[in-house]
Chain A
Amino acid sequence: MGNPGSGLKQVRLSLPARDEDIARLEPGMIVYLDGVVYTAREGVYKRVIEDGVPLPEGLSAISNVNFHCSPAAAPDPDGSYRVGGVTATASFRFSKWMAQWLELTGTKIVIGKGGMPREDYSNILAPRGAVYLTTVGYGTGALLGRGIVGVEAVHWMDELGIAQAMWMFRVENFGPFIVDSDLQGNSLFASHGDRVNQRLEGLYEGLRQPALHRYGETDDRRKEVM
């Protein structure tokens, strides 16, 4: 099958990521990480931003990478954790918390599934010096699981459960990820989406109109739609 993607640029970053490293990332680059990443999704965001619970001490010095993820993990009797697979969850659902979260934590890299809306990059991430990396696939759960060499800490396990707790992962050659957004607010997903969109109308050419139109095709509820 040849070597698909061999023409793509690859980079390996040490964490916490430095501003100059982040500035060099371009949409479409392949990235691998070394250091500590933390998981946070709706459970953590609500707890910290809406309920005002303080962040774990020294978070920003330990990690500036927020992974939108819930691991497949299980506690062992000795209090340690076995982490099997690791896969991201869809990030666009977390838009409303991101501005405050980036400011509170100093996070510079957000990793997740499927990117954020393009205006979030220009309005929220890029102005705060942050970029977005997407997981590949999705998900390369086993490859990412291999990249996790240890669990440094788990915060709020009792309150939030395995899926929503904040996991601090020590990682090595953790990836692959693809750069979606850069510091200029460009988005790989958006540019590919634009190219895909150009073809869409043609796909429906020649197909007869439906017997009844439906909500979604129009927002006008006075029309006869199903």
Chain B
Amino acid sequence: MIANDRIEEAAFGIMCKAAIDIPEDYLKGIKGMIDLETGDLSAFVLKSMVDNYEAATEDRRPMCADTGLPRYYVKVGDKARLADGFVALERALRSATARATHEVPLRPNRVHPLWRNDHNNNVGLNAPEVEWSFEPDVDWIDITTVHKGGLFGSDYRMLFPGDGVDGIKRFFLDTLIAFGKRGLACQPAIVGVGIGGSKDTCMQLGKQAACLRIVGEANPDPKIAALEEELKELGNNIGMGPMGFVGSSMVVDCHIEAGFTHTGGMPVSVHTFCLSSRRATARIHADGSIEYRTDPRWFTPYMRRETIGWETPEAASSRFG
């Protein structure tokens, strides 16, 4: 049985860690880009960002004052048992959000879209978002928080099968160029691309691809992995670096997630997870112990299943082997 106070502690812990400590995979990616960057202003920007990550960790202050829209992804083990139920879990997430807002402190970003009133705690109507998934055969709960910017860098387009990969490339370029100008996307970014599903799942998959997969991790489908590489190169060949200055650092990594879609369509979404790619995950074990990490491990073989039933993880992963 997992007690609710453990969940709140874990949620508060990841809110603080996400806001302050840049994930190692992203930091490594940015350092690698400094070595390749030939634009002097672009290189200066990247170097300043690395200085900023160090200052944030040393001072325990947020790396970026724009909190973005903090949200949660919860993966519940099929064998996990909650002492106080799921309503209590959702309350714990909201309470941890409000507490972290005050204690880190984080900027209260969330306001009513029409009346613009602010609870000063990043909690409100439909906020923070909580997305759920399940994992067979295990008794832990994983909670991930992502603080992703909320204004620029994401877009959706309904393409058609006849548009093919060229259509995806056009849309990818259109989005990065549009939001890359003046650096509104806060690039270089982890670019997530959702392909397929319905309009909402297409957006959801693309966003999860950007925020819940680490730099260097390829899609298990080799053909999709090749397209990820191709899009990454395409983005870095635009000639635009951070802040829209002349340069080459646009895409730290590109992640694609796909979902079965309407036979007549090929919806695509593009999302950019910025220079302050803030994510942190906690695993709460059945005994109440908490482990922290920066890799959400969200897209498990179970998540990417195509079958009616669920095979063992080994059988599923051998299909990609």
- Interface of A toward B, CB cutoff 8 Å: 1, 3-5, 7-8, 28, 30, 69-74, 82, 84-87, 89-90, 92, 113-115, 134, 136-146, 161-163, 176, 178, 188-189, 192-193, 195-196, 199-200, 203-204, 207-208, 210-212, 214, 226
Contact = CB atoms under 8 A, between A and B. Distances in A.
Contact of A196 (B62, B108, B109, B244): B244
B185 to A, nearest CB: 10
Contacts of A70: 65-66, 107
Nearest to A74: B105
B239 A199 contact: yes
Given A5-B48, A210-B167, 10 more contacts: A74-B102, A87-B64, A136-B44, A137-B183, A144-B65, A145-B59, A146-B55, A193-B181, A196-B181, A212-B160
A134 B118 contact: no
Interface residues of B, number: 70
Interface string B98-137: 0001111111110100000010100000000000000000
Interface of B: 31, 34-35, 37, 40-41, 43-49, 51-53, 55-56, 59, 61-67, 101-109, 111, 118, 120, 151-152, 157-160, 162-164, 166-167, 169-170, 173, 177, 181-184, 186, 234, 237-240, 242-246, 275-276
B150 to A, nearest CB: 11
B44 to A, nearest CB: 3
A74 B184 CA distance: 27
A1 B66 contact: no
B183 A138 contact: yes
A104 B160 CA distance: 54
B239 A196 contact: yes
Given A114-B182, A199-B238, A208-B164, A5 B106 contact: no
A102 to B, nearest CB: 21
A30 B48 CA distance: 11
